[in-house]
Amino acid sequence: MSDRPIKILIAKPGLDGHDRGAKVLARGLRDEGFEVVYTGLRQTPEMIATAALQEDVDVVGLSILSGAHMTLLPKVTRLLRERGLDDVLVTAGGIIPDDDIPALQEAGVAAVFGPGTTIAEVAAYIRSHVRPPEA
């Protein structure tokens, strides 16, 4: 059993310039005991996949408000798989219509958290869906 906390990468794909929610989530998940890396604004899918590999994360949380989720999120999941990160849990949050969620799940996004989701709900989901990290 490892004492290493679950490590989460929070990323803002695309040209979306609003990151308050991502920063609040990052801080809240740190307060919940996770190790959190925040990549900052305007990340390409390639930058996100590379950061996930370099940081050896357990979870990639994608925050998107721009409406480009159907293009960017599947590309991120594909690039993660191509880099051998099949075991990384991918979640998304932001403004994503309910009708788009099944296609995103088919592409490899495990869960989509919309407005009003609490940090405690996100933390509980992550804890219940991520294998304990190995030392």
pLDDT tens-digit map of 29-77: 999 999 999 999 999 999 999 999 999 999 999 999 999 999 999 999 9
**Per-domain boundaries in the chain:** 7-129
pLDDT-derived band at 107, boundaries 50, 70, 90:
very high
CATH superfamily of 7-129: Cobalamin-binding domain (3.40.50.280)
Which pTM does this prediction carry? 0.94
For the segment 19-31, the average pLDDT, to the nearest whole number, is 96
> Does pLDDT of 1 surpass 80?
no
Which long-range contacts link 92-96 to residues 24+ away (Cβ below 8 Å)?
92/61, 92/62, 92/63, 92/64, 93/21, 93/25, 93/61, 93/62, 93/63, 93/64, 93/117, 93/122, 94/21, 94/62, 94/63, 94/64, 94/65, 94/69, 95/64, 95/65, 95/67, 96/64, 96/69
pLDDT-derived band at 16, boundaries 50, 70, 90:
confident
Per-chain mean pLDDT for the chain:
95
